[in-house]
Amino acid sequence: MRLADPGGPAHGDDQATGLRRLFAARPVFNTLGVLGPDARRTARASAALALGLGRQGYRVLVLDEAGAPDNVGTLLNLPAWRGLADAPAHGLAAVAQPAGDGVALMAARDGVATLAGIPEQAMRTLAEDWRERADFPEWLLLNGGASAEPISLAMTAGIRVLVLPNNKARLADGYALMKAAQSICAGRSWLVLVEGADLAQARALFLSLRQTASRFLGITPELLGNLSPAKRGRPSDPFDDAQVDVLAEDVAARPCPDPIDFEQYWRRMWLYSRVAIDKSGKRLAHGQSRQRACQ
Residue 269 lies in a domain: yes
Residue 11 lies in a domain: no
Which positions ≥6 away from 161 have C-beta within 8 Å?
A: 32, 33, 34, 35, 45, 49, 190, 191, 192, 193, 224
Residue 138 lies in a domain: yes
Instruction: State if pTM tops 0.85.
Output: no
pLDDT digits (tens, 9 = 90+) for 142-168: 999 876 556 899 989 989 999 999 999
Which positions ≥6 away from 270 have C-beta within 8 Å?
A: 115, 116, 118, 120, 123
Residue 4 lies in a domain: no
Q: What is the pLDDT of residue 10?
A: 44
In degrees and rounded to multiples of 5, residue 39 shows phi and psi of: -65, -35
Q: Are strands 30-35 and 159-165 parallel, antiparallel or unpaired?
A: parallel
Residue numbers of the chain with a pLDDT score lower than 70: 1-28, 147-150, 229-238, 281-295
Domain tally for the chain?
1
Residue 271 lies in domain? 27-294
Residue 212 lies in a domain: yes
Q: What is the pLDDT of residue 72?
A: 93
**For residue 141, what is the domain's CATH number?**
3.40.50.300
Burial call 103-132: b when 16+ CB within 10 Å, e when fewer: bbbbbbbebbebbbbbeeeebeebbebbee
Task: Supply angle C-alpha 16, 160, 62, rounded to 5.
Answer: 15
Q: What is the pLDDT of residue 233?
A: 44
Task: Supply angle C-alpha 147, 153, 157, rounded to 5.
Answer: 110
Residue 239 lies in a domain: yes
